[in-house]
């Protein structure tokens, strides 16, 4: 069987890296920057977004809106923030999916011990 070489065309590389990436790779791309106060407090610039974090939207039609992350969709690489909704044609309110790079984390959910360990490890590595 003949092995086909991988293309180096930018559009095909983009497909491979973003859209066709396995879920463990997509999960690592679900990161958002921290607010200035949190950067000083924890000594890190960005971290993966989780359900329960409080974020502020900095781009798009919900710019300036602050709310808790209700849901994270790893497959589509989107987060859902409470209050960022739109009305459908049938009258239902639905959450609008947002890309994590368009939000800034203002408060971290530190109820998980493993997340505290991650922050400490990254803090030590950056010093």
**How does pLDDT run across 68-124, given as a tens digit for each residue?**
999 999 999 999 999 999 999 999 999 999 999 999 999 999 999 999 999 999 988
Which residues lie below 8 Å from residue 15, measured CB to CB, with a gap of 6+?
none
DSSP codes of every residue in 2-50: PPPPPP--HHHHHIIIIIS--HHHHHHT-EEEBPHHHHHHHS-SEEE--
Quote the pTM value: 0.86
CATH of domain 31-126: 2.30.30.30
pLDDT at 26: 92
């Amino acid at each position: 069987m003949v092995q086909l070489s991988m293309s180096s065309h930018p559009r095909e590389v983009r497909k491979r890296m973003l859209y066709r990436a396995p879920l463990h790779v997509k999960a690592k791309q679900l990161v958002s920057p921290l607010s200035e106060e949190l950067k000083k407090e924890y000594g890190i610039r960005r971290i993966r977004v989780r359900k329960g974090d409080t974020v502020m939207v900095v781009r798009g039609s919900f710019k300036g809106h602050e709310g808790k992350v209700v849901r994270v969709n790893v497959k589509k690489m989107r987060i859902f923030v409470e209050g960022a909704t739109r009305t459908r044609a049938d009258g239902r309110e639905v959450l609008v999916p947002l890309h994590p790079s368009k939000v800034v984390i203002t408060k971290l959910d530190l109820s998980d011990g493993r997340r505290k360990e991650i922050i400490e490890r990254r803090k030590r590595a950056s010093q």
